[in-house]
Amino acid sequence: MSKTRVCLVTDELYPFTPGGIGRVAHNLIMDSQRQGADVEFHVLFPATVPVQKAQVELFFGGRVKAHLCEFREPHQSTADAHGLYPPTEAFRDSRWHGESLELMRYLKAREAEGLRFDVIEFADFRGWAFATLQEKHLGLAFGQTTLSVRLHSSYGTLMHHEPNTLEVENVGRFEIERKSLLDADLVVGHLPCIAEFNRRFYGFDDAWMRKVRVEFPPVVMESPAEQAAAWDVPATERNLVFVTKIQHFKQPDVFVRGAVLLMRTWPEYQGKAILACHAFDSEFLAEVKALIPTDLADRFVFIKPGPDREAHMRAGVVVITSSYESLNLTAYEASIAGSRLVLNSACLAFGDDSPFVDGVHCHKYDGGLDSLVVAMRKALEGPALAPVRWTVDRPYWERHVPEAPAARASRTPLVSVVIINHDQGIFLPIALQGVAASTYPEVEVIVVDDGSTSPFDMQVLRRLERSESEGPGLRVIRSPVHRGFSGARNLGVRAARGAYVVFLESDESLSPDFIQHAVAALESRSVFAGVVPTGGRFHSSEELANRQFKGFMTYLGDCPTYSLVANRVSAPTALLRREVLERHAFNESLTGYADWEFYLRVVQDGHRLLVTNQVHFFSRRGQDITPSASQRRQHFRWLVRLLEGVPTPLHPSTRLFALLAHSSDAMTDPFGALAPQQSAQPETSAALESAQALAEAVRPLRYDVVDVMNAALKRLPLVHPLLKQAVVGRPAPSGNDSASGGDAVVSHAEAPPLRYVLVDRANVLFKRVPVLHRALRSTVRRLT
């Protein structure tokens, strides 16, 4: 019998990187190997992680295979045997969406080479499982692989406990993490209460718990060399120790306040408060230090964790004030080392589900300041505590049973392709040719002419009507009046006979295999209501034929929170079950944002949508026009109308901070999804125009800075050309793309200014040093 092959996808791994996720991954690997489990481990890192593959493999004695996934340049799109993938910059909802695509491409390429994993495990943080899960549910890869997500602490749950700005990207981060947990084959939690908290926080129903596996992991691999003996110093001289991190949800400010209150109310106490931990936010560190009274400043010691960390823990009282933890490894390490622990019982990781018992292994407090001081004094004056005890559950992959692939449907239900035309007859052949090239056999085409008046359109329609009599596959429906976006679609739905319906404008097209893939996925997975295609924009028929796109449209599918901010659900073109369209008709009273309003109602009603990773939808790109003041005002009128009609009650996963993001300065382009309909729907043109202005207004701050620098340099006629020549003279980046396993790389996006490319690269490098990146960003914001 071959070994079970497990791949852990992570950017943390002890001892190469800090962080609890990496420590858990290390412990799981080491414990499984110590138990002699028949498991072959692989670890997949993004290439941005400063780790060498050989170094990792040597540390684990050659029993772990390391992989590095190179992310593409932001503007680089890639074609392979499966189709075209959009560049990472196309994912406007969150850069994590683009990163999840890069990881999926790497894993899919390895599978195509014969390296098939039985289990691929992702962390919940960043939602990197998203694209891989979409690919599996579409039946395009990973059919024999269990795709799991482990509950550590998602960004969404931490947002609940930390101050955050109203950036739209925070909404995207929340949604991609939620979708990863919702669509995963298996979810792994360390404690029952953590699984239940995530279920309630993300609004999942009780059925979600059926795929949750609660397994307590190995938390400490090695016992310390020596246990703490009875303290030989008076209780009044023992130290209080904080050894987690200077982060808001860790609540170091509560520790400092508690230590100050203890020193004030117990004059005999002369111990120190030691904060031996990393600080990643200099502003918050300054806030914490500002809480210390001047007369007590010499009794508070801030040091970075080092070799003496364990000595401080054993000789003092370790206080963990976190408001949220999924599993705090420090608490277990401190207890086994013989430390006296003070724990926040309001934190789920230390509640009744945890191995920690109040008065036996620790002293708990209720989260309040006065209760904390009481617990601190108990720990200082009381007797030694027993070390905590726990039972390690064997991980699911040691008893892994290969998941049976989803049953492929044997029937081929009829699909109705509804093509809407309004004085765009010259482009109708594009849509019709795309449908004719479809690999799916059971298709009917319904051309809905929405009150066209052009003589050319009349001629095209008469020709189509003559073709209609030659077979049942084509019907033409003429509306004597221009009904608009919603009315034309509702007319098409009433005429459709298919179990599935997909809409197209006359100048749009679908890839030949989209309908086949979408129907197969929906027939085998009844939980989904539709499939959303990723889109590409083109100017000419030649560009369409060569798949040379001038922009991309990416979506999240069902995203109840984001749907309140923007239409990142779907383009107007998606393949939907007929019953969805019968339950939710398009609102004919709206003159703008009708598709956004439609999808908002669909996802708030609980319907789930798959999203393709490859580009399957092609739309002619209209002319870029700078919006006028009246058009911008129209945008906000439509927005008010849309939000006033939000259905209630809202989907249980909806976070209402999304509504406030509309007024945030960080608002991104929420209406790019409307672009495909512009050429055929003049009444909605202001939406695209307004979107372009908004997008320009909120582009990355680094672009504004480099534009200012560029403008200044242009005033120096001798310097600017020399600098430009020096930069252009640099060698071009290599076309090799390891994530696609050597597939050809084709760049279809519009070439951005060179200064943007360079500043993007610099930004990636700065992000590898988070403290420096935040400091630079804060400085630039103040200057601008």
Q: What is the reported pLDDT for 539?
A: 87
CATH homologous superfamily, domain 4-214: Glycogen Phosphorylase B; (3.40.50.2000)
pLDDT (tens digit, 9 = 90+) per residue, 593-609?
A: 999 999 999 999 999 99
Segment of 74-83, 133-142, 426-435 carrying the highest mean pLDDT: 133-142
Residue 689 has pLDDT above 60, yes or no: no
Whether the predicted pLDDT of 658 surpasses 90? no
Domain positions in the chain are: 4-214, 235-381, 415-694, 703-783
Tell me which fold the domain 415-694 belongs to.
Spore Coat Polysaccharide Biosynthesis Protein SpsA; Chain A (3.90.550)
Q: What pLDDT score was predicted for residue 742?
A: 41
Once rounded to an integer, what is the mean pLDDT over residues 542-570? 92
Of the candidate ranges 42-51, 81-90, 707-716, the one whose mean pLDDT is the lowest: 707-716
- Token representation of residue 765: 């490098």
Three-state SS sequence of 404-443? CCCCCCCCCCCEEEEEEECCCHHHHHHHHHHHHCCCCCCE
Neighbours of 396 (CB within 10 A): 17
What's the rounded Cα separation, in Å, for the pair 667 and 167?
7
Q: What percent of the chain has pLDDT over 70?
A: 81
C-alpha R_g of the chain: 29
pLDDT in tens, 331-343: 999 999 889 999 9
Nearest to 592 by CA among 572, 569, 568: 572
Would you say 698 and 620 are in contact if contact means Cβ atoms under 8 Å apart? Answer: no
Residue 720: its pLDDT value, please?
62
CA-CA distance, 440 to 670, in Å (whole number)?
33
CA angle 348, 354, 360 (to 5 degrees): 120
Q: What is the pTM of this model?
A: 0.84
- Count other Cβ atoms within 10 Å, centred on residue 20: 19
| Confidence check: pLDDT of 666 > 70 | no
pLDDT of residue 338: 87
Give the number of other Cβ atoms within 10 Å of residue 410's Cβ: 6
Q: Do domains 4-214 and 415-694 have the same CATH topology?
A: no
> For the residues 94-120, what does the mean pLDDT come to?
96
Summary mean pLDDT of the chain: 86
Percent of the chain at pLDDT above 90? 65
Q: Is the pLDDT of residue 208 over 80?
A: yes
Q: Return the higher-pLDDT residue of 769 and 187.
A: 187
Give the contacts of 732 (CB within 8 A, at least 6 positions apart). none
Is the pLDDT at 690 greater than 70? The verdict is: no
* 3-state SS, residue 15: coil
Any alpha helices (H) in 593-731, and if so which ranges? 594-604, 629-644, 657-660, 685-697, 701-714, 719-728
Q: What is the pLDDT of residue 683?
A: 37
Number of residues written out for the chain: 784
Phi, psi for 653 (deg, rounded to 5): -85, -5
Q: Three-state DSSP class for 569? A: coil
Q: How many CA atoms lie within 13 A of 76 on its CB side?
A: 21
pLDDT for 623 equals 61
Of residues 765 and 577, which shows the higher confidence score? 577
pLDDT at 306: 80
Compute the half-sphere exposure of residue 560: CA atoms within 13 Å on the CB side of its CA. Answer: 22
Judged against a pLDDT cut of 80, whether residue 146 lies above it is answered with yes
Burial label, 243 (beta-carbon count in 10 A; 0-12, 13-18, 19+): buried
Q: State the Cα–Cα distance between residues 784 and 766, nearest whole angstrom.
A: 19
Confidence of residue 476 (pLDDT cuts 50, 70, 90): very high
662 band by pLDDT with thresholds 50, 70 and 90: low
Band of the pLDDT at 688, cuts 50, 70, 90?
very low
CA 759 to chain centre: 24
In 539-628, alpha helices (H): 541-545, 578-583, 594-604
The yes-or-no verdict on residue 515 having pLDDT over 50 is yes
291-350 pLDDT, tens per residue? 999 999 999 999 988 878 888 888 899 999 999 999 999 999 999 988 999 999 999 999
Q: In the predicted model, what is the mean pLDDT of residues 387-410?
A: 81
The closest alpha carbon to 700, from 633, 628, 629, 753, belongs to: 753
Q: Is 298 left (phi over 0), alpha (psi -120 to 50) or beta?
A: alpha
Give the model's confidence band at 167: pLDDT under 50 very low, under 70 low, under 90 confident, else very high: confident
Sequence-distant (6+) residues with CB within 8 A of 692 are 624, 625, 626, 627, 669
Q: How far apart are CA 261 and CA 458, in angstroms?
A: 84
Q: Is the pLDDT of residue 641 over 70?
A: yes
- Of the ranges 180-189, 392-401, 680-689, the best mean pLDDT one: 180-189
CA–CA dist 638, 691 (Å, integer): 13
Mean pLDDT of the 534-549 span: 89
Q: What CATH class does 235-381 carry?
A: alpha beta
Residues 6+ apart with CB under 8 A from 687: 592, 593, 635, 638, 671, 674, 678
Contact 534, 86 (CB under 8 A): yes
How much is the average pLDDT of 480-508?
A: 96
Does residue 618 surpass a pLDDT of 90?
yes
Among candidate residues 549, 269, 541, 535, the one with its CA nearest the CA of residue 381: 269
Question: How confident is residue 631, by pLDDT bands cut at 50, 70 and 90?
Answer: confident
Confidence category of residue 1, pLDDT binned at 50, 70, 90: low
Q: How far apart are CA 214 and CA 395, in angstroms?
A: 10
pLDDT in tens, 434-472: 999 999 999 999 999 999 999 999 999 999 998 877 667
Q: Kindly tell me if the per-residue pLDDT of 734 is higher than 70.
A: no
Q: Which of 47, 2, 42 is nearest to 764 (CA)?
A: 47
273 CB-contact burial (10 Å; exposed 0-12 / middle 13-18 / buried 19+): buried
Which two three-digit tokens encode residue 725? 């020549």
Confidence of residue 224 (pLDDT cuts 50, 70, 90): low
